Amino acid sequence: MSGLLANTVGVWLDGFAWPWLLLALPLPWLARRVLPARRSSAPALAVPFGDRLAGLAATVAGSGRNAGAWLAWAAWVLLCLAAARPQQVGEAVMPPQSGREMMVALDLSGSMSEPDMMLGGRRVDRLTAAKAVLSDFLDHREGDRVGLLVFGQRAYVLAPPTLDLATVRQQLGDSVVGLAGRETAIGDGIGLAVKRLVSGADDRESGEHVLILLTDGVNNAGMLEPLKAAELGSDAGVRVYTVAFGGDGAMSVFGFQLPVPAGEDEVDEATLTQIAESTGGRFFRARDTAQLAGIYAEIDRLEPIRQPGEAVRPRIERYHWPLGAALGLGLLGFVAPRRRSW
């Protein structure tokens, strides 16, 4: 019977977190053996038939004491089992493992306020369209650490690479045109992003550092030249994907789309292409929201969001089973004597 019980318990349990607490099982027996018996100091009446009375009392109360003793021992054993924290190994799971450090650098210069994009059937400015597409891109980055950097005349990190994508999305939603200045410092944005990626990369491989830079202008501010910043990124193992965002050489004046004057290129595609190619990334051109969404879908395929991690079998706590049984036996031991007296 004991072997069957042990096999049944073994099917459900796979070990104890604190097995050393099972050493407390013989403590009541040791206390009974070692400690001296309690002696009564109450006055006693000597009668010639005392032995017969003692025998009769032992016969009547013996079964009750034995039952109470067995209940107490069973409750103690169950309490020791609960204290040892029995555990059951659950089904194997393979959590997503990516290990990628990613920064999104967003241009907040004055030109991002141009209302030349269509989103949901209405005309919106470039920043609003970029936010909508970037937010959807973040929804598909589960398992990656993503940070947000904005740049205009200067560059600022709004969120370091983190798994808390809700915070990154909130910082993205709070960004407004001109927050970092009205000009465009592409080189400073790349340089700061590379520095932040390398400093927070821990032991990850260099090929897993990714920068996605979205801009609609030409570098006209900052201390660092874009190509020099790209060289720093290449040396640090950071791949840069550049996205040129904006319409076909047009600007809005009182609601009308006018051509950009000669000699004032709206987007420096040549420089953005060199930046991407020198770091092992790619250059993309997005002239509307649909093209921008397609570009981020392409980047999603180039930079896979997850890979199977090491199989893990979680341990499930089962201490509540013996604890509940011990409490039930304690309640039974409390109620049973009173029921007999009633």
Q: Which of 17-21, 64-68, 231-235, 322-326 has maximum average pLDDT?
A: 231-235
Is position 42 within any domain?
Answer: no
Mean pLDDT on 30-55: 63
Return the pLDDT at 114.
85
Q: Quickly state the pLDDT bin for 80 (edges 50, 70, 90).
A: confident
> Are residues 158 and 63 part of one domain?
no
CB 182 within 8 A of CB 166: no
Is position 47 within any domain?
Answer: no
> Are residues 139 and 116 part of one domain?
yes
> Are residues 138 and 79 part of one domain?
no
Domain count along the chain? 2
> Are residues 175 and 79 part of one domain?
no
Return the pLDDT at 118.
80
> Are residues 120 and 15 part of one domain?
no
Return the pLDDT at 216.
85
Strand partners, 119: 122
User: Cα–Cα–Cα angle for 291, 295, 296, nearest 5°?
Assistant: 120
Return the pLDDT at 231.
93
Q: Which domain holds residue 17?
A: 2-31+52-91+314-341
pLDDT in tens, 87-101: 887 777 665 555 578
Residue type, 137: F
Is position 262 within any domain?
Answer: yes
Return the pLDDT at 208.
72
Is position 205 within any domain?
Answer: yes
Is position 44 within any domain?
Answer: no
> Are residues 86 and 112 part of one domain?
no
> Are residues 259 and 138 part of one domain?
yes
DSSP designation for 311: -
| pLDDT(252) > 80 | no
pLDDT in tens, 143-174: 778 899 999 999 999 999 888 888 999 999 99
Burial bucket for residue 171 (CB in 10 Å: 0-12, 13-18, 19+): middle
Return the pLDDT at 192.
94
> Are residues 236 and 176 part of one domain?
yes
Is position 45 within any domain?
Answer: no
Is position 43 within any domain?
Answer: no
- The CATH number of the domain holding residue 216 is 3.40.50.410
Of residues 26 and 100, more confidence is placed in 26
Of residues 108 and 62, more confidence is placed in 108
Q: Quickly state the pLDDT bin for 18 (edges 50, 70, 90).
A: confident
Name the region of 222 (left: φ>0; alpha: ψ -120 to 50; beta: rest): left
Return the pLDDT at 84.
87
Return the pLDDT at 69.
72
> Are residues 195 and 182 part of one domain?
yes
Distance CA 211, CA 281 (A): 9
* Among 134-138, 214-218, 250-254, 331-335, the least confident range: 250-254
Distance CA 55, CA 57 (A): 5
Q: Quickly state the pLDDT bin for 256 (edges 50, 70, 90).
A: very low
**Element counts in the chain: helices (H) and strands (E):** 10, 15
Cα atoms in the Cβ-side hemisphere of radius 13 Å centred on 6: 3
Q: What is the mean pLDDT of the chain?
A: 76
> Are residues 268 and 173 part of one domain?
yes
Distance CA 304, CA 294 (A): 15
Q: Where are the alpha helices (DSSP H) in the chain?
A: 2-12, 27-34, 50-83, 126-139, 165-174, 186-199, 226-235, 269-279, 289-302, 320-341
> Are residues 119 and 64 part of one domain?
no
Is position 74 within any domain?
Answer: yes
Residue length, the chain? 342
| pLDDT(126) > 80 | yes
> Are residues 324 and 264 part of one domain?
no
